[in-house]
């Protein structure tokens, strides 16, 4: 949850602590645009106040809802060689799954998973993921599932594979089990998909009534992912609520063999450090975003997908591993643009320089972009950036979960300000701006 300490009088429609034990502290559920209050009461608007008649769109909690909400997968399993036990964990769903993965991931882990399931009496139908989570791909794979009368969906891969599989399962009314192969996405635990157009431009969020039934993480597979992905996963834990703090302990997942450690070629997993990192990036990050919410960072990412720039749209494309048979342009990576979007959100949140520098230092240390030039769009025109801001402020976008006034002009200024802040940080630390 995001805790915001207010040092100014609360606006009508917010909440105050009548006991004054924690004056001016509000907890926001950013995912559902609600203010959650612990023993708090609404602040009444004075009769003469302009707020008495209407509640501005930018104000959180216009309906004064005070429920707390937590949602998660039904079961989360993690450990080395977990794929070999998949038959035991998935038996409740049926014996005829559709396995969705791309060609690269199938070679890395799909063959082993198929073999383990077939040994346990499963009949596996393979669906080859084309590389982009968009309507036509969902329909194409869905038809394969229907033609083969499958009884549940298995998603093996990264975020777009998982999002596509969730949409297929929802269309067919089937359960889904997720086997992520990277520790850099929140898709495994979430009850939504991000749907794109065939050219990689964001189209819409698709929400579901429940989270995946089972998430099975084989850490011996995860460590084979491109080296950049897990470290970018570290950044995702803070990306949309950078001013909140979460601390958790999961000692059962931290236990490992007594000779703990990770071997030099990263192809074996032993002991606590890898297990803890994978758990933090996959489970804890997923629960945090699902039960805490998204805000400006993702909305600005969605706007950035509309910029027609080759460099921006080919970031990390060499690590994607496959091109769809219908060959849309290379995919935009969400990880990089959300990182820059986080800098924009810190600007919107009026973060002090000390706090801003702390986040910029982290991002720079793991090669995440902190300027428009880092994204390959340093020459973007004001007209292009204003279009990004306009798309970020579309109705029902996650930016409206921010607790402050949001307009297209303010977001445009925040994008420009974030770029300036990133360049200033690099100059002050002797880095190439």
> Which residues are designated catalytic?
240, 298, 301, 317
Cα gap 132→332, rounded to integer Å: 10
In sequence order, the β-bridge partners of residue 128 are 101
Q: Could you give the CA distance from residue 235 to residue 228 in angstroms, rounded to a whole number?
A: 11
Contacts for 411 with CB less than 8 Å, ≥ 6 apart: 296, 300, 344, 348, 389, 392, 393, 399
Q: How many CB atoms lie within 10 A of CB 261?
A: 14
The kind and range of the H/E element at 46 are none
Residues paired with residue 155 on neighbouring β-strands, in sequence order: 100, 178
338 vs 309: CA distance, rounded Å: 17
Q: List Cβ neighbours of 431 (8 Å cut-off, separation of 6 or more).
A: 364, 425
DSSP string, 140-164: HHHHHHHHTT-SEEEEEESHHHHHH
Residue length of the chain = 433
What is the C-alpha R_g of the chain?
22
Q: Is residue 181 within 8 Å of residue 109, measured between CB atoms?
A: yes
DSSP H stretches of helix in 182-271: 219-222, 228-236, 251-254
Q: Can you state the angle between helices 353-365 and 408-428, rounded to 10 degrees?
A: 70
C-alpha distances (whole Å) from 256 to each of 182, 218, 261 are: 20, 14, 9
Q: How far apart are CA 299 and CA 297, in angstroms?
A: 6
d(CA 13, CA 138): 41
Pair type for strands 2-5 and 25-29? antiparallel
User: What are the distances in angstroms from CA 226 to CA 27, 263, 281?
Assistant: 37, 16, 15
CB 304 within 8 A of CB 312: yes
Q: How far apart are CA 377 and CA 369, in angstroms?
A: 11
Cβ–Cβ < 8 Å for 331, 135: no
CA atoms 89, 144, 129, 31: torsion sign: negative
């Amino acid at each position: 949850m995001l805790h915001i300490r207010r040092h100014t009088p609360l606006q009508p429609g917010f909440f105050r602590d009548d006991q004054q034990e924690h004056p001016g502290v509000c907890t926001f559920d950013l995912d559902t645009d609600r203010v959650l209050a612990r023993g708090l009461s609404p602040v009444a608007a004075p009769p003469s106040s302009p707020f008495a008649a209407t509640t501005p769109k930018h104000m959180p909690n216009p309906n004064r809802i005070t429920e707390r909400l937590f949602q998660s997968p039904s079961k989360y399993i993690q450990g080395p060689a977990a794929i070999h036990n998949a038959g035991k964990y998935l038996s409740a769903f049926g014996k005829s799954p559709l396995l969705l993965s791309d060609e690269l991931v199938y070679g890395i882990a799909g063959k082993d998973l198929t073999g383990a399931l077939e040994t346990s009496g499963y009949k596996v139908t393979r669906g080859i993921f084309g590389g982009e989570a968009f309507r036509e791909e969902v329909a194409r794979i869905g038809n394969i599932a229907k033609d083969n009368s499958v009884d549940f969906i298995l998603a093996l891969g990264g975020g777009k594979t998982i999002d596509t599989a969730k949409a297929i399962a929802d269309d067919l009314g089937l359960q889904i089990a997720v086997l992520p192969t990277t520790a850099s996405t929140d898709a495994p635990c979430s009850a939504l998909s991000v749907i794109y157009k065939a050219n990689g431009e964001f189209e819409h969020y698709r929400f579901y009534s429940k989270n995946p039934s089972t998430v099975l993480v084989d850490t011996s597979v995860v460590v084979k992912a491109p080296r950049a992905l897990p470290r970018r996963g570290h950044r995702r834990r803070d990306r949309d609520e950078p001013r909140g703090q979460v601390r958790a302990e999961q000692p059962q997942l931290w236990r490992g063999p007594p000779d703990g450690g990770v071997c030099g070629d990263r192809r074996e997993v032993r002991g606590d450090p890898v297990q803890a990192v994978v758990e933090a990036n996959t489970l804890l990050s997923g629960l945090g975003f699902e039960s805490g919410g998204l805000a400006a960072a993702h909305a600005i990412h969605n706007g950035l997908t509309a910029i027609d720039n080759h460099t921006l749209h080919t970031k990390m494309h060499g690590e994607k591993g496959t091109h769809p048979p219908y060959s849309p342009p290379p995919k935009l990576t969400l990880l990089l643009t959300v990182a820059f979007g986080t800098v924009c959100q810190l600007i919107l949140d009026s973060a002090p320089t000390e706090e801003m520098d702390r986040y910029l230092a982290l991002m720079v240390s793991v090669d995440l972009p902190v300027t428009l030039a880092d994204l390959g769009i340093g020459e973007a025109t004001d007209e292009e950036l204003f279009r990004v801001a306009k798309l970020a402020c579309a109705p029902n976008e996650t930016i409206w979960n921010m607790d402050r006034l949001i307009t297209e002009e303010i977001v445009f200024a925040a994008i420009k300000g974030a770029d300036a802040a990133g360049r200033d940080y690099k100059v002050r630390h002797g880095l190439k701006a």
